[in-house]
Amino acid sequence: MDLQERLLSFGFKEIPKPKIHCACPLGFMEIFIGKEECPIKALVDTGAELNIIPEEIAIKSSLTTRKLNMNLRGIGGHTTSLVALSEFTPIILASGEETQIHFFIAKGSFHTVLGRTFLEDNNIRLEFSHKKGEILSYQEPDGRRLCIPI
């Protein structure tokens, strides 16, 4: 007897569909972006495949861009228009460390997103501590890991 037959034998009239839940640790991190070093609170999203910045902030930060015409579908099914790409964008982390990042530039109002590529390139992790809650940790130049509660 398969699952459907067993459920029907218990009196189910409709077979319940399994629900899928996704959980991606999130946190905010202050960065300074572009030549103007504009301060931004960026959302660190371990589930995002891309680094995304609103077009308005890209313009304000004087980012060098090349045009794109793509649509990005979010986890909730919504779409966002990606209009440009800024490659090797200089940013400064809250620790003062400088790095470069590729940002996809999108229309609309939302938080700047630092995705998995940023985390991997900079050896950054989001962790959960029962004592401190959610923490963001990354390697300092001297080899120590810096942990920041977020």
What letter represents residue 6's amino acid?
A: R
pTM for the structure as a whole = 0.72
List domains and CATH numbers for the chain. Answer: 38-149 (2.40.70.10)
Candidate ranges 52-56, 136-140, 143-147; pick with highest mean pLDDT: 52-56
Both tokens of residue 23?
């959980």
What is the C-alpha to C-alpha distance for residues 30 and 35, in angstroms, rounded to an integer? 16
Instruction: Output the CA–CA distances (angstroms, integers) from residue 135 to 30, 32, 48, 108, 128, in the order listed.
Output: 14, 20, 18, 29, 6
pLDDT band at 74 (very low <50, low <70, confident <90, very high): confident
- In this prediction, residue 107 carries a pLDDT of 92
pLDDT band at 75 (very low <50, low <70, confident <90, very high): confident
pLDDT at 101 over 90: yes
Q: Are the CB atoms for 111 and 41 separated by under 8 Å?
A: yes
Residue 32 CB burial class (10 angstroms; 0-12, 13-18, ≥19):
middle
Residue-wise pLDDT for 112-143, tens only, equals 999 989 988 888 887 777 787 778 787 777 88
